[in-house]
Amino acid sequence: MNDLRAMLTAAGLCVAFTGAMGTAQADEGTQSSVTLYTSAIHTGVIACNAVNVSKKTLHITISIVDGTGPVPNLLAGPTLIQTPPGTEATVDVGAPTDDDKEGYCVFQVSGTRNRDDVRAVQNAVLAGTRSVDGGKTTFPFFITRVLEAH
């Protein structure tokens, strides 16, 4: 019976010690951050939007990156936005009638390691007119897509 108590006591101390070490290591860690990306899309407007759904202020840096070349080229940003709880950070580039943009959004979030503290998307908008009969008849169009960041 004494051997059983000694083993349980040793196991309890081992569990308590390793739990305390894990907590100390997490507290001593470097600045917490997470990075989210959308996929690339060909469009007129690229609007990158992030909402802080946490209970603390986050610092969100948004960049819009050209998706056409082998080397990343910035279309906009990086822009650092202090984002209190419940507010949105936004950066956009282009106009709805532009037809020459292709890119994706990068959201670098400082102040958390939990990607669930932010909801981030890319809104893509393209508008104009097209013809299917050689220009005799034109029709207007308006296309919008929302790409979720992960």
Give the model's pLDDT for residue 89. Answer: 96
pLDDT confidence band for 31 (50 / 70 / 90)? low
Q: How far apart are CA 68 and CA 36, in angstroms?
A: 19
Residue-wise pLDDT for 131-140, tens only, equals 888 888 889 9
Residue-wise pLDDT for 57-104, tens only, equals 999 999 999 988 788 899 998 999 999 999 999 999 998 988 888 999
Q: According to the 3-state scheme, what is the secondary structure of 41-87?
A: EEECEEEEEEEECCCCCEEEEEEEEECCCCCCEEEEEEEEEEECCCC
Give the model's pLDDT for residue 30. Answer: 52
Q: How far apart are CA 68 and CA 103, in angstroms?
A: 7
Its pTM surpasses 0.75 = no
Q: How far apart are CA 89 and CA 14, in angstroms?
A: 45
Give the model's pLDDT for residue 23. Answer: 38
Q: What is the mean pLDDT of the chain?
A: 82
